[in-house]
Amino acid sequence: MKTDLELETWRQEWRDRTEPLPELKKKIRRQNLRTAAAAIAICLCLAVSSTEAWLHRSWFMAGMAAGIAFAGVFVGGFAWWVRRGAWKPTAQTTLAYAELSYKRAVAKARTLRFSFHLLLAMIVLFAGFTAWHWHDFHLRERMILGAIVIELFFLKHLERRKKREIVETKKLVDDLKE
């Protein structure tokens, strides 16, 4: 049996030039919006915590504002570094969008894992602070500690979901390369 090379060349060109799946384009657009929303949320949290620290002149809230600023810059910088090469597709093909989706899923999983460990360290520091100043541990501080612990579990849940997405997008990329 003889393979028609011209037909195979046409097939490859057709695959390379096909329009990306509309679902992939929508997914990438949603991810871009979420990234912008996350940056806005971090700035909003920093502004609220700084305002709260300024209004109440509380060393606890000043520490929280500093912690939020440190975590925001640290995690934001890590996320920016991990996402290098995953900002836009290399071409307007389905394969390029699938590869971009895969790179972003891997970067997000790494960022979630990093955030989980950073938050775990924050909980240990917060627990040490609480043990040192147990007599000043009011309802507000309990609520903040509870929110941090809930966020820890939520990050682990998101990491598991992102790992499933990595497997799915890797399968899609492999299928498109065949």
Q: What's residue 8's pLDDT?
A: 73
Q: What is the DSSP string of the chain?
A: ----HHHHHHHHHHHHHSPPPHHHHHHHHHHHHHHHHHHHHHHHHHHHHHHHHHHHT-HHHHHHHHHHHHHHHHHHHHHHHHTTT-SS-SSSSHHHHHHHHHHHHHHHHHHHHHHHHHHHHHHHHHHHHHHHTGGG--HHHHHHHHHHHHHHHHHHHHHHHHHHHHHHHHHHHHHHH-
* Percent residues over pLDDT 90 in the chain: 25
Q: What's residue 33's pLDDT?
A: 92
- Band the pLDDT of 6: cuts 50, 70, 90: confident
- Band the pLDDT of 97: cuts 50, 70, 90: confident
Domains in the chain: boundaries: 21-177
Q: What's residue 88's pLDDT?
A: 83
Q: What's residue 3's pLDDT?
A: 62
Query: 106-140: per-residue pLDDT in tens?
Result: 999 999 999 999 999 888 887 787 777 777 677 77
Q: What's residue 15's pLDDT?
A: 62
Query: 82-95: per-residue pLDDT in tens?
Result: 988 887 888 778 88
Q: Does the structure show a pLDDT above 80 at 21? A: no
Query: 166-175: per-residue pLDDT in tens?
Result: 999 999 889 8
- Band the pLDDT of 19: cuts 50, 70, 90: low
With a threshold of 0.75, does the pTM exceed it? no
